[in-house]
Chains A and B, each alone.
Chain A
């Protein structure tokens, strides 16, 4: 599975959009980009995933560049409850284990 690179930490003002970048330059054609988050020692929570098209659900939007070497997770209106560690993970189409990196620690401030 391809390796991902994320900034260690980010801040965001409450009510503003949070844009979390991820680099996955070695991603291959059959690999998906998944995003999970972990809120203070709770179990990780699935957010969204995509292959090459942009995706949107009730939680977030995922923008994947045309060459698929990077992506951005967008939380459109961040709240204090969105403070968490966000993980970008590349998974092949066979599924299976998730390889978690260090993730991005997002702090949403009032």
Chain B
């Protein structure tokens, strides 16, 4: 059973471009979470999605950031008009359900560098 897959592992964008980060959850997992880790800082929750639904987006910046988890295919975190402050590691995690006892399995992360 393959783990959580994220691609690309490294992404370089110039200011003003769009960044698309992909996350394929573990097989059988229908819950996806995105976290961001700024340089020298801790992990911060961004958004929690279930298939075709956003459950909790309390950690998402109000502008330029969006996330989706379609019925088919990976979850996508989209950052429009990137700025240098978006440079960070973005981690995706998945779980089979939301209930107690369900640990989250994390992917290796996407390192975004904005020039």
- Give A residues with C-beta under 8 Å from B: 32, 34, 38, 41-46, 49, 51, 91, 93-103
8 contacts across the A-B interface (CB closer than 8 A): A43-B107, A46-B105, A94-B100, A95-B97, A97-B58, A100-B35, A100-B45, A103-B42
Supply 14 further A-B pairs (C-beta < 8 A) apart from A44-B106, A49-B103, A96-B48: A38-B43, A41-B109, A43-B107, A43-B108, A44-B93, A91-B100, A93-B100, A95-B97, A96-B55, A96-B56, A97-B59, A98-B35, A99-B45, A102-B42
- Asked if B101 is at the interface of the complex by the 8 Å CB criterion, the answer is yes
Q: Is the CB of B104 within 8 A of A98?
A: yes
What separation, in Å, do the CA atoms of A92 and B42 have in the docked complex? 21
- Asked if B69 is at the interface of the complex by the 8 Å CB criterion, the answer is no
Contact of B42 among A34, A45, A91, A101 (CB under 8 A): A101
Nearest-neighbour CB distance to chain B for A92, whole angstroms, equals: 8
Contacts of A46 in B (CB 8 A): 103-105
Nearest-neighbour CB distance to chain B for A27, whole angstroms, equals: 14
Q: Is the CB of B102 within 8 A of A98?
A: no
Please tell me the number of chain B residues within 8 Å of chain A, measured between CB atoms. 29
Contacts of A101 in B (CB 8 A): 42
- Asked if B95 is at the interface of the complex by the 8 Å CB criterion, the answer is yes
Nearest-neighbour CB distance to chain A for B20, whole angstroms, equals: 19
What separation, in Å, do the CA atoms of A99 and B108 have in the docked complex? 19
Q: Is the CB of B99 within 8 A of A95?
A: yes
Contacts of A95 in B (CB 8 A): 95, 97-100, 102
What separation, in Å, do the CA atoms of A32 and B101 have in the docked complex? 8
Q: Is the CB of B109 within 8 A of A42?
A: yes
Nearest-neighbour CB distance to chain B for A6, whole angstroms, equals: 12
- A97/B42 contact (C-beta < 8 A), A42-B109, A43-B107 known: no
- A97/B45 contact (C-beta < 8 A), A42-B109, A43-B91, A43-B107 known: yes
- Asked if B83 is at the interface of the complex by the 8 Å CB criterion, the answer is no
